[in-house]
Amino acid sequence: MQNLKCLNALRLVPLALIAALLGTTACSDPVIEASSGSDGTAGETGGDGDGDGDGDGDGDGDGSIQGIINFNYYPADASGAPAQVGFSAGFRTIPFNQTNDFHAAYAFGLTVPPPPSELDAPEFGGVPAPLNWGKANVWVTAGDGINMATSDDAMSASACLIQVGVGQEYPVYTASDAPMFSDACQPQTSDFAFGTDYTVGVFGGDAFANNGFTGIRTPTELTVTSPDLSVYGLEVNRADGLDLAWEANAEGDDPLLLRIRDTNGSVLAASASDDGGFSFSGDEMSNLSAGFATLTVTREHAVERSLGDEVGATQVVTRVEVWGYLTLL
């Protein structure tokens, strides 16, 4: 299936990266920005310049395993992209501080920065750096798959282990409708149930013991009522600001995440109360450049689970994300 979200995402890749990307990737392949791990990993933590946060300068981390598991639902949108499920994961010994949406980085080549920590206070963060994959030897190969299933197994999805990258290979867990994947690892939208508890089965292989995480909740369904995102290239005058409305989740305790990414890749973001409405002011919108832009409205739930004593931990993030396509004037 042609990844229309990826094609639209490529319209937002900074021009300085286009030449490199076109020579190495297409929307059916991940955008891999490999690094030696000793050149100051952009967006990661660590005062020694290697970005792994352990202070020794080798870029290998402290040995503890840190994982990220994403289970995302994307409704059909104005680009013609059908509804789809994104299921990707990875484990390594350096943190995933740049983003908690590894699926977007792997499948779309987009770094989705962490949401603003202050509620209802928009932040303009400029152009996020591409995900720094680090050295291949900081990535951990666990078992051969990850499974998410409802308690009655009526809905079940799996991500398979593959090796990606050129020159260096990185173990990634993902679901795809590509021919190389077994039927079990081909994502179906029917496998994603809104507002439902799942159990996540993580097979550790030789890296750690198998784990079963219960009570991993998916967000409720998300419907954006304004602006009209059924229009591709909807014109928005930046000076007028942007008013958004959606069907609120009165029982939810997670913020709604709003991000506008302009034609240069710069991101204006907000963590909004899930009360049904939010507005970006004209002054805030003026930070964005005129031209094509994407708007994402995201309801997500994030938890951390232990992989075992003295082993490490993994983030498990489920999200429902609505995409809109704007023309900023």
- Band (pLDDT 50/70/90 cuts) for residue 25 is very low
- Band (pLDDT 50/70/90 cuts) for residue 55 is very low
Do the beta carbons of residue 284 and residue 255 sit within 8 Å?
no
Higher pLDDT, 153 or 265: 265
Do the beta carbons of residue 311 and residue 140 sit within 8 Å?
no
Quote the pLDDT of residue 89: 92
Among 179, 208, 27, which residue's Cα sits nearest to residue 109?
27
- Band (pLDDT 50/70/90 cuts) for residue 62 is low
- Tell me how far apart the 2 most distant CA atoms of the chain are, in Å: 56
Higher pLDDT, 164 or 20: 164
pLDDT, mean of residues 240-258? 89
pLDDT digits (tens, 9 = 90+) for 152-181: 878 888 888 888 887 788 999 998 877 777
Contacts of 245 (CB under 8 A, 6+ apart): 224, 225, 226, 276, 277
Cα–Cα distance measured from residue 184 to residue 175, given in angstroms and rounded to the nearest whole number: 9
Q: What is the mean pLDDT of the chain?
A: 81
Residue with tokens 């990707």: 88
- Band (pLDDT 50/70/90 cuts) for residue 48 is very low
Quote the pLDDT of residue 177: 77
Does the pTM surpass 0.75? The reply is: yes
Higher pLDDT, 17 or 90: 90
Residue with tokens 């173990």: 171
Cα–Cα distance measured from residue 306 to residue 51, given in angstroms and rounded to the nearest whole number: 23
Beta strands in the chain (DSSP E): 65-74, 84-92, 123-124, 145-150, 156-164, 170-174, 197-202, 211-217, 224-226, 234-236, 242-246, 256-261, 267-272, 277-280, 291-308, 312-328
Higher pLDDT, 6 or 28: 6
Cα–Cα distance measured from residue 204 to residue 65, given in angstroms and rounded to the nearest whole number: 11
Cα–Cα distance measured from residue 114 to residue 264, given in angstroms and rounded to the nearest whole number: 19
Quote the pLDDT of residue 14: 42
Half-sphere CA count of 312, side-chain side, radius 13 A: 23
3-state secondary structure 166-204: CCCCEEEEECCCCCCCCHHHCCCHHHCCCCCEEEEEECC
